[in-house]
Amino acid sequence: MMKMKIGIVGAPVDLGQQRRGVDMGPSAIRIARLEERLESLGHTVKDFGNIPTSDMATAAVGDEKVRYLKDVVKQCEMIARKVSECASKGLFPLVLGGDQSVSIGTLAGLPGPGTGRGVIWLDAHGDFNTPTTTPSGNIHGMALAAVLGYGHPDLAKLGGRAPKASEKNTVLVGIRDLDPQESKALSRSKVTVFTMREIDELGMKRVMQKALDIAAAGVDQVHLSADVDSIDPREAPGTGTPVKGGLTYREAQLAMEMLSDSRKVTSAEFVEVNPILDVSNHTAELAVELALSLFGKKIIERA
């Protein structure tokens, strides 16, 4: 196993959605001993702490079609600076959310042009809404669209780069809940979408092989965005927008193991852990297990 230098950035952001508690996600993941367990694999870990965030109780909602825009932009800019600092020091950026809106900041802070970066997005949802299609106004449901240069310019152009990833190298895995207009937008896009039906029919191994081939084709970087709601809520109850019929724990582990074996992933984030909705920190523990598999933990080391 290749030993790595990892930089952890905590992003306790909860303004991208409307359920309280997801801002405690980074703390819950740390309590599950992420740093200690990564170091036990032989990696070097530096924790950059949490960015300062606004409180939902006092922040201004603003436009209901893009709620808390001003504060979300400010927070994503801080995430981008921390991610950029990690990358400039030769560290693998590992961001802990917070809601999915943190992805806009993560991708904005990565080095190089967005056209040189693929994305594998594990999620129950598409996160491909814009202010004109969103039924809720929640920015966490616009994160991927913003990363690919769509939607409100303050999000799409955050960090001075749009897009922040290559659309044809973007792959959604585990999808099972799309808004009507979002579904149409994805159908018109160059994004590859593997729904739970494809996983049922092809199996997780084949889906991840295809996802890796697409995400890594002709680019220098592959970013992983792992939303814990990609996993079935019976196994990951601590998340704000659960959708039944998701990935099993073993399917998610296989995905991480295959990503690790590929050695193509250059940055990652784990998002949407909500300890208030969890049982005995089970979902944060699961997120840590997935992270360990991504960073090379194996049942047995084979010659």
Please name every residue paired with 171 in a beta bridge, in sequence order, or none if there are none: 120, 192
Residue ranges of domains in the chain, CATH in brackets: 5-294 (3.40.800.10)
Rounded to 10°, the helix 204-216/249-262 angle is 40
Q: Please give the average per-residue pLDDT across 139-167, as a whole number.
A: 97
299 band by pLDDT with thresholds 50, 70 and 90: confident
Q: What is the pTM of this model?
A: 0.97
pLDDT score of 283: 98
Instruction: Characterize 74-100 residue by residue with b for buried, 16 or more Cβ atoms within 10 angstroms of its Cβ, and e for exposed.
Output: bbbbbbbbbbbebbeeebbbbbbbbbb
Q: What is the pLDDT of residues 179-208, one digit of tens each?
A: 999 999 999 999 999 999 999 999 999 999
pLDDT score of 152: 98
Angle (CA) 49-53-55 rounded to 5° is: 140
pLDDT score of 303: 61
Q: What is the pLDDT of residues 259-269, one digit of tens each?
A: 999 999 999 99
Q: Please give the average per-residue pLDDT across 146-161, as a whole number.
A: 97
- DSSP-based three-state secondary structure for 235: coil
Q: What is the pLDDT of residues 235-261, one digit of tens each?
A: 999 999 999 999 999 999 999 999 999
Supply 255's token pair.
């995905």
1 band by pLDDT with thresholds 50, 70 and 90: low
pLDDT score of 164: 98
Over 90: is that where the pLDDT of 55 sits? no
Over 80: is that where the pLDDT of 301 sits? no
